[in-house]
Amino acid sequence: MQLVLNRPLDMHVHLRQEEMLQNVTPFTAQQFAGAVCMPNTLPPVDSVERYDAYVAKIKAAAAPYEFDPYVPLFFHEGLTREELAPARERLFGVKLYPAGVTTNSEAGVAEMSKIEPVLDVLQDLDLPLLVHGETNGYSHDREREFMSVYDHFARTFPKLRITMEHITTVEAAEFLEKHDNVFATATLHHLLYTMDDMLGGPFNPFLFCKPIIKSPKDREAIQSLVIQGHPKLMFGSDSAPHTEVMKRTEGAAGCFTSPVLLPGLAQFFEDHDILDQLQSFVSDRALEIYGVNPPERSVVLERKEWTVPPRYGSVVPVNAGETMRWAVVDPEVESA
């Protein structure tokens, strides 16, 4: 049995830089025709010049796959109309990180009340705002506490498209109904797991990420959006590789899911008897919401078991050692 996906997209992934970029990009480029590649590199992708350089590097790392990287600029108060307007046609959007809430976000926004002039420019240029919506509060409540910020932005800038990235809570799921200009992405790991999978038994550092995996009730809210086929919810994996050493010794936050994404999604959709909706979740809605035009590629999945390796180089994937029911059929590998 095969499943064909047309132009699948991962609307939130971390491809990193240098050696890690070379190692992880093929997993994304194999399975997706395009992806939103996050700008929280060191230094961040915070100018048009750095944007052009990063897009070129990703494309080179993705070859021979035809793959479109959509890189949102790292939000900072110094972004100006003069810099953004001439590049508008090739830019994708801007990604806002509150300062210090996650990996490489130190250069993010410390004071939300100061950024409205930049939001005004984004609204004018019709550049979408992607947001890591968490406060610096208690881990489990950070996303809930951020809802008032989303609300303020959505009301003040009604024409600005705002995406709540990697939503994890009942409150975020409900918030999608509140404003026409608010959208969201959801990850595979927040769809599948709860806090207990990470620390209910022996601690599994490979499920530690920001926002933290939450309660069964929260997971159910995200699952129910996916199952009902919510038109404002897109797939965004938030696959965020760190070396095994960083995960085990430094407590680095991020789940490396790239190698298992389409197989894991097919499994979830099959389990809920909604395989026919997978195309919409991994592509159609993002095409509509963002108006992107990725390469005309189909990706084929086959119902065939395979075992996820314990590690890929220095990185341990989510589901390491587990058996997956669906596999990606890769024409590049088949013809090699």
* Complex with Zn ion: residue 37 or 299, whichever CB lies closer: 37
Q: What is the DSSP string of 30-84?
A: HH-SEEEE---SSS---SHHHHHHHHHHHHHHHTTS--EEE-PEEP-TT--HHHH
Query: Closest approach of Cβ 14 to ligand DOR, in Å?
Result: 5
Cis peptide before 263 (omega within 30 of 0): no
Gyration radius of the chain's alpha carbons: 19
With CB under 6 A as the rule, give the number of residues binding ligand DOR. 11
Query: Closest approach of Cβ 238 to ligand DOR, in Å?
Result: 6
* Complex with ligand DOR: residue 208 or 326, whichever CB lies closer: 208
Query: Closest approach of Cβ 300 to Zn ion, in Å?
Result: 27
Of 172, 166, 163, the closest CA to residue 141 belongs to 172
Q: C-alpha distances in angstroms, 73 versus 21, 95, 148, 231, 277?
A: 18, 6, 24, 25, 31
Convert residues 247-276 into a mask of x (bound to ligand DOR by CB under 6 A) and - (unbound): ------xx----------------------
Query: Closest approach of Cβ 99 to Zn ion, in Å?
Result: 15
Q: Which residues are catalytic?
A: 238
Q: Sign of the CA dihedral 104, 264, 282, 172?
A: negative
Determine whether 271 is exposed, middle or buried from the number of CB atoms within 10 Å of its CB (0-12, 13-18, 19+): exposed
Give the count of beta carbons closer than 10 Å to the beta carbon of residue 84: 19
Query: Closest approach of Cβ 255 to ligand DOR, in Å?
Result: 7
Residue 260 contacts residue 324 (beta carbons within 8 Å): yes
Instruction: Copy the structure tokens of residue 36.
Output: 């939103």
CA distance 109 to 115: 8
Convert residues 33-72 into a mask of x (bound to ligand DOR by CB under 6 A) and - (unbound): -------x--------------------------------
For ligand DOR, which residue of 132, 232, 247, 285 counts as binding (CB under 6 A)? 132
Give the count of beta carbons closer than 10 Å to the beta carbon of residue 80: 11
- Residue 253's binding partner among ligand DOR, Zn ion, none (Cβ under 5 to 8 angstroms by kind) is ligand DOR
- Residue 210's binding partner among ligand DOR, Zn ion, none (Cβ under 5 to 8 angstroms by kind) is ligand DOR
Q: Does 317 bind ligand DOR (CB under 6 A)?
A: no
Q: Does 12 bind ligand DOR (CB under 6 A)?
A: no
For Zn ion, which residue of 10, 46, 143, 238 counts as binding (CB under 5 A)? 238
Q: Does 28 bind ligand DOR (CB under 6 A)?
A: no
Q: Does 10 bind Zn ion (CB under 5 A)?
A: no
Q: Does 143 bind Zn ion (CB under 5 A)?
A: no
CA distance 106 to 129: 19
Residues that bind Zn ion (CB under 5 A): 238
Residues that bind ligand DOR (CB under 6 A): 14, 40, 102-104, 132, 209-210, 240, 253-254
